[in-house]
Amino acid sequence: MQLRGASSAKNLYRKILQPRIPIHATPCDIFINHRGIDTKKNIAGLLHDHLFRMGLRPFLDSRNMKPGDRLFDKINPAIRNCKMGFAVFSPNYCDSYFCLHELALLIESKKRVIPIFCDVKPSQLRVMDYGTSSAEQLRRFSLALEEAKYTVGLTFDTLTGDWSHFLNTATDAVINNLAELEAGNSS
């Protein structure tokens, strides 16, 4: 049944979205914002690979960057040019300046963001002041985090969750959101 749903989603994407994507299209459809030590080798990596096999163009730093690339030179344009994003919140997410910067840039760029709460509840997410960020940066990060926490998203428990079901649900969410965005752009 789930394979049928994934196949239907892929066919919907091919029929509705692919013919309208120009050759000079954005470098990625979906930016995957995540905390590498928590999620790169499981949920973020699997999500990237699943979306890629569906014919989409996800951006994941470990898959789209090479040694020597400057982080902000690759990540900032990928965020600004993507159609939407996933924010994979995890226990160590808020400890990362880069995660919070990427989230703030997604929100400030008015991108649609689907939160994924992976092994963490929204109420557990807080921006902490470790003395490394300015007051303005902390304010940006806090505003973006609050907006994402109050956006309907997906939850996943890596110990007890059904990985296949999660990947299909996340893919369906992407397809539906991209179709909505495309419909909004064409009207």
pLDDT digits (tens, 9 = 90+) for 131-169: 889 999 999 999 999 999 999 999 999 999 999 999 999
More confident residue, 13 or 153: 153
Amino acid in the structure at residue 42: N
Please give the domain boundaries of the chain with CATH numbers for all domains: 25-185 (3.40.50.10140)
Alpha-carbon distance of 184 to 179, in angstroms, equals: 9
- Rounded to two decimals, what is the model's pTM? 0.83
Candidates 144, 166, 139; CA nearest to 155 is: 166
Residue 76 has pLDDT above 80, yes or no: yes
Please pick, among 102, 136, 147, 182, the residue that the annotation labels catalytic: 102
Q: How confident is the model at residue 33 (pLDDT cuts 50, 70, 90)?
A: very high
**182 belongs to the catalytic site:** no
Alpha-carbon distance of 106 to 97, in angstroms, equals: 14
Alpha-carbon distance of 54 to 170, in angstroms, equals: 12
Q: How confident is the model at residue 23 (pLDDT cuts 50, 70, 90)?
A: very low
Residue 135: predicted pLDDT = 94
